[in-house]
Structure 1
Amino acid sequence: AGTQQRVLRAINDLNYQPNMAARNLRSARAYAMGLVYDNPNPYYIISAQNGVLSACREAGFGLQIHPCDSSSATLLEELLDLVRHSHLAGLVLAPPMSERAELISALAAHGIPFVRIISAAADPQDGYPCVYVDDRDAAYDITKHLIQLGHQRIGFIWGGTSHRSSSERYLGYESALKDYGLPLDRKLVIPGDYSFDDGFRGARKL
């Protein structure tokens, strides 16, 4: 519900107003937002999709889901084509696209409305609308909870290195260990990606 309300507020801040007259025209029937993502974890995208879809419906919009390769050299052209060909009113950018400064600047220069989902403790106040998730604080609280249950050897499995959320979560994990006087054992820090298989392999290694 929290994600839904934040996305809805961001949509309203961008002054997204459905054109009811245009909706009666064949060329404007697909009036929707686009959710752009590059994350191999299906649980993540389903959760994000549900929140964004609920917010879009409340504002009178449909939603189109578009997976892509965030490292592609032609990503900007791909997104511009998506907006034009699908008659999208704007984009919701999931990480790591939402964290690529050059992509954000280029979309703004082309006049494409967008909202970013980012990992941050607060709104970066950079002039671009966003919904932010405090991954560092969340990881701190999770680690603290395990410590308070009596656990001392607590592992950490990294997510994708291209996602800022991975480093933010690691910093939260590290801070909790330090605050509770526990050593950071590098052997308990495992590389991985945002996928079930990597998580399973990392857990077995631990």
Structure 2
Amino acid sequence: MTKDLSRPTKITIHEVAAAAGVSIKTVSRVIRDEPKASEATRQAVRDAIKRLGYVPNAFASAMSSGVTPVVGLLSSGLSEPSILRVGYEYRMSLQSGAFDILQAAGFGLALVRLSESDQAHDFSGLIGRVRRREVGGFLITSPLCDRAGLVQALQAAKVPFATISSAAELHDGPSVVANDREAMCAMTRLILQFGHRRIGFIRGNAGWRDAEHRYAGYADAITGAGLPLDPALVFQGSFGFDAGRQGAQQLLALTPRPTAIIASSDDIAAGVLAVAHERGMSLPTDLSVTGYDDIDMARKLWPALTTIRQPVEQMAGEAARRLMALMRPVRHSEPAGPAQVELRSELVLRDSLTSAPG
């Protein structure tokens, strides 16, 4: 029988072990990211895997540990119009950041939408997914982590989970947040340095950690500069374009109107810019506008948006690492330090911010 040379020969773990000069068991340990191997040995195995093009069956390897190697990323049900069409890029960044870390460890990522049955008081539908081994644990983002009873139900059922952008007092398990308050305070101080004194602020969804911390940062900077915190300059909105439009219409109707408006998200800022353009304002000469998140749209707006870049991918990746430490503590040693980790955001200066007029 003639051998089919068109098909590539499948590299086996035996060949990797021979190329790296180690045992098959050691190769398996490195693939599974177990601690019983030196860094030099790990690197030799990784080099052999790369050189030979070996593709391990990561899913089967993870299943052998007795833990379902799939993490469920919770998303909201379609019945919540406030976030139905908002934040797609943010959610994609979360998915990408978590997926990269999980895939490298032989885990999969599943998007789990909270249905009406999942939202029962005991969240039995959600917990049932773990019992049926559809997923092994959950990543929960704001605002879902604030859903009444959710965290408590998962804790009672001993379901592993990690949260992203949750309040510090919500639970004592792994949680990753951004320094929203500090970052927004720094942005507001920068705007003050540009000479602005009437600075409007459009808030995100009431009660969400991100929104409350960003407003607190604005308030810190305003009061820290010895200025009154004028409620007329603050609009309670939500994280969306339409809220930005509504907030801009209200704030720009004031006499005197603000010379700068800080938006709690880039989507909100886009709504502000749209209203300003409709009013024939010269931007940023007549009005400076800033956002938060630095989604890709921010650089495409006119003028390009000064904003705050939130480390969304890193937040999701760190939360995934910490969740795996709960799910497989032998192979993924638990990170040292506090349960809640805070990552730093970065100010991004573009054309939408300039000195106050006059």
Deviations 1:42-91 (A, max 9, x none): 23212222222222222222211234379944572342234345611210
Q: Which residue is equivalent to 2:226? A: 181
Residues 110, 119 of structure 1: CA spacing in aligned structure 2 closer, same or farther, 3 A cutoff?
closer
**What is the CA distance between 1:34 and its match in structure 2?**
0.9
Q: How many residues align?
A: 184
Q: CA RMSD in A?
A: 3.2
How do 1:89-128 and structure 2 match up within 5 A? 89-100=136-147, 102-119=149-166, 126-128=171-173
Whichever of the two has the greater Rg, that structure is 2
Deviations 1:145-175 (A, max 9, x none): 2111222222221211231222111111101
Q: Which residue is equivalent to 1:167? A: 212
Deviations 1:96-144 (A, max 9, x none): 2323573212201112110111245xx6695311112222112111211
CA contact (8 A) 1:136 1:172 kept: yes
Which amino acid in the other structure matches residue 36 of structure 1? L
Task: Compute the TM-score of the two structures, normalised by the length of structure 2.
Answer: 0.45
How do 1:62-81 and structure 2 match up within 5 A? 62-68=108-114, 72-74=119-121, 76-81=123-128
Q: 54, 75, 78: which is aligned to 1:37?
A: 75
- 76-85 vs 59-68, greater mean Cα deviation: 76-85
Greater fraction of residues in helix: 1
Unmatched runs of 5 consecutive residues or more in structure 1: 1-11
Is 1:200–2:264 an aligned residue pair?
Answer: no
CA–CA distance in structure 2, aligned partners of residues 178 and 193 of structure 1: 24
CA contact (8 A) 2:122 2:153 kept: no
Residues 72, 190 of structure 1: CA spacing in aligned structure 2 closer, same or farther, 3 A cutoff?
farther
CA contact (8 A) 1:119 1:135 kept: no
Which amino acid in the other structure matches residue 178 of structure 1? T
Between the aligned residues of both structures, percent identity stands at 35
Task: Compute the TM-score of the two structures, normalised by the length of structure 1.
Answer: 0.74
CA contact (8 A) 1:157 1:202 kept: yes
Q: 95, 107, 120: which is aligned to 1:49?
A: 95
Residues 92, 21 of structure 1: CA spacing in aligned structure 2 closer, same or farther, 3 A cutoff?
closer
